[in-house]
Amino acid sequence: MSEQQKWIYNLYLKAYRTNNGNPFRPKKDFTGFEDKPEYAEILKLTAFFNKYPHLLTIDFFNAPYKLYNDEKKYYSLKFFASPRGLKTCMNYFKTLIDSNPDEQIESIKDSLKFIAGFCIEKKIKMGEYYRYKSVIQPDFLIHLKEYKLNWYIVFGIKNMFDEIYAMPLDEFELYFGSHLNINELYNKFNNSKRAKIVVKEGVRKIEDFIAKKLNG
């Protein structure tokens, strides 16, 4: 199995364990896994994530546990690889924006890790991230559109919120749709109990981490 396939399986396993209130330990020994029926589903998911790599996060596998209010506590790999499963997960990414920011801590942490990796790869400081462009528009706008960043990160990184707020309305809606209310998100962020702290502390930590990596 490839490292990507192992990662997919462990994200799937983590979602199942944590959404049932159980501790999680990553599976390390995959000996003989390719001979199991589940491997066929892993191959389907691998093909999907190769096409949409930005969706390979814990939130993808959290989707049915968060969206469905039935008593089912287990969703198989076959479900996630099915058309219904993929649609469920895509819908969850859309609704995630509107949920309580304090319920998005893992997504926020994943976003901070993504920014750290991006800045180190591009050899830019944290303060340069909001204006870095590989195309016409800043890359962080694309990262938001592709769900690589949690929206509440925007309010913790200097100048990022101002950059978005200054966008013409038609341009903003082209990127993010007409349903997204940036002012409402900002109010939720300010009223949050945990998310605001995690974002501010996390931004400071990865800023220092990036600086050390670039100077080291």
Q: Which of 87, 5, 14 is nearest to 45 (CA)?
A: 5
One-letter amino acid at 135 equals V
Residue 66: pLDDT band by 50, 70, 90 thresholds?
A: confident
Residue 65 in contact with residue 19, Cβ under 8 Å? Answer: yes
Q: Which of 127, 122, 144 is nearest to 54 (CA)?
A: 144
Whether the predicted pLDDT of 147 surpasses 90:
no
Residue 64 in contact with residue 85, Cβ under 8 Å? Answer: yes
Q: Which residue in the block uniquely carries the two structure tokens 């983590």?
A: 14
Q: Is the dihedral of CA 140, 53, 90, 95 positive or negative?
A: negative
Kindly report the average pLDDT of the chain as a whole number.
Answer: 89
For 158-190, how does the pLDDT look when each residue is reduced to its tens digit (9 = 90+)?
Answer: 899 999 988 888 888 888 877 778 888 899 999
Whether the predicted pLDDT of 115 surpasses 80:
yes
pTM over cut 0.75: no
Residue 71: pLDDT band by 50, 70, 90 thresholds?
A: low
The residue with greater pLDDT, 52 or 7, is 7
Residue 90, pLDDT score? 80
Residue 77 in contact with residue 13, Cβ under 8 Å? Answer: no
Provide mean pLDDT across the span 116-136.
93
Provide mean pLDDT across the span 124-134.
93
